[in-house]
């Protein structure tokens, strides 16, 4: 016999946000979190408190292009109407891109099969003020080819304890990375509207990574270590020894939060 489901429906929300002035995804005692803002907006439709579950708990200052959340509700508004209503209540830094009905047992975090992150580095003498809250400014020359070679060595199933900051509530540090690379990228389309110098596109590096799960500060610590490779402070091959060591103090610094984006979440 199956387990009876509580009354109502499960909604799957796809959300993007500018995390600059937010305390992160998870609700905190002080400050605006994405979770709390969504719960407050949804409670006005539900007429009672609701609990929103996110696929990933992004930190303060981290952004999202495609965060996914799930919530159980009893109201019957269609997805398009609900998305408009939620966006009318949310601050401009948080937008609900779409709302879909999901299976009764769907959970945004536990059903996720992989997550995709991007870390942006502006490798130039100056950083444009319009992008300063969305990139890590590294003025020293970086060898992006060496960084790419180092990033590829992280693909596969490994113990990522060396890239794990304390304070995580996850168990174990073994994760599978399905794709990991560094590439030069193009500026956002908005750059033309803002009259940003698009000739600087070659100075924008993106670390792209996709995996079945990530430890606390894992992507940012990898980014910090890759920058050390790019500066010639360590060889690309040292990533293998670093993984084997399992020692956080042997890795590079935790890169600042503003360069990190949760790009998307994959489900079956």
Residues with catalytic function: 59
Answer for the pair 97, 83: CB distance below 8 angstroms, yes or no.
Answer: yes
Alpha helices in the chain (DSSP H): 34-46, 79-89, 144-152, 190-193, 218-230, 238-245
In whole angstroms, what is the distance from residue 221 CA to residue 199 CA? 29
HEC assignment per residue over 23-58: CECCCCCCCCCHHHHHHHHHHHHHCCCCCEEECCCC
Tokens of 150: 């180092």
- Which residues contact residue 78 at a Cβ distance below 8 angstroms, ignoring those fewer than 6 apart? none
CB within 8 A of 171, min separation 6: which ones?
none
């Amino acid at each position: 016999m199956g387990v009876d489901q509580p009354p109502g429906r499960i909604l799957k929300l796809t959300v993007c946000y500018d995390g600059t002035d937010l305390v992160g995804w998870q609700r905190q005692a002080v400050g605006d979190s994405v979770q709390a803002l969504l719960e407050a907006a949804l409670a006005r439709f539900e007429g009672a408190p609701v609990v929103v579950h996110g696929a990933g708990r992004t930190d303060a200052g981290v952004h999202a292009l495609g965060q996914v959340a799930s919530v159980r509700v009893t109201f019957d508004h269609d997805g398009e109407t609900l998305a408009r209503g939620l966006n009318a209540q949310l601050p401009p830094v948080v937008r609900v891109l779409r709302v879909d009905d999901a299976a009764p047992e769907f959970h945004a975090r536990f059903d996720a099969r992989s997550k995709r992150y991007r870390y942006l580095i502006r490798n130039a003498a100056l950083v444009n003020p319009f992008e300063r809250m969305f990139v890590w400014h590294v003025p020293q020359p970086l060898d992006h080819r060496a960084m790419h070679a180092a990033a590829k060595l992280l693909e596969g199933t490994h113990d990522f304890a060396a890239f794990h900051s304390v304070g995580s509530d996850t168990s174990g540090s073994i994760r599978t990375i399905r794709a990991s690379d560094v590439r030069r990228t193009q500026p956002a389309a908005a750059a033309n509207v803002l009259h940003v110098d698009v000739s600087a596109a070659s100075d924008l590096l993106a670390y792209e990574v996709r995996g079945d799960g990530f430890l606390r500060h894992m992507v940012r610590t990898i980014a910090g270590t890759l920058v050390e490779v790019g500066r010639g402070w360590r060889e690309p091959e040292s990533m293998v020894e670093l993984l084997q060591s399992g020692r956080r103090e042997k890795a590079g610094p935790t890169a600042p939060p503003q360069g990190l984006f949760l790009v998307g979440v994959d489900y079956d």
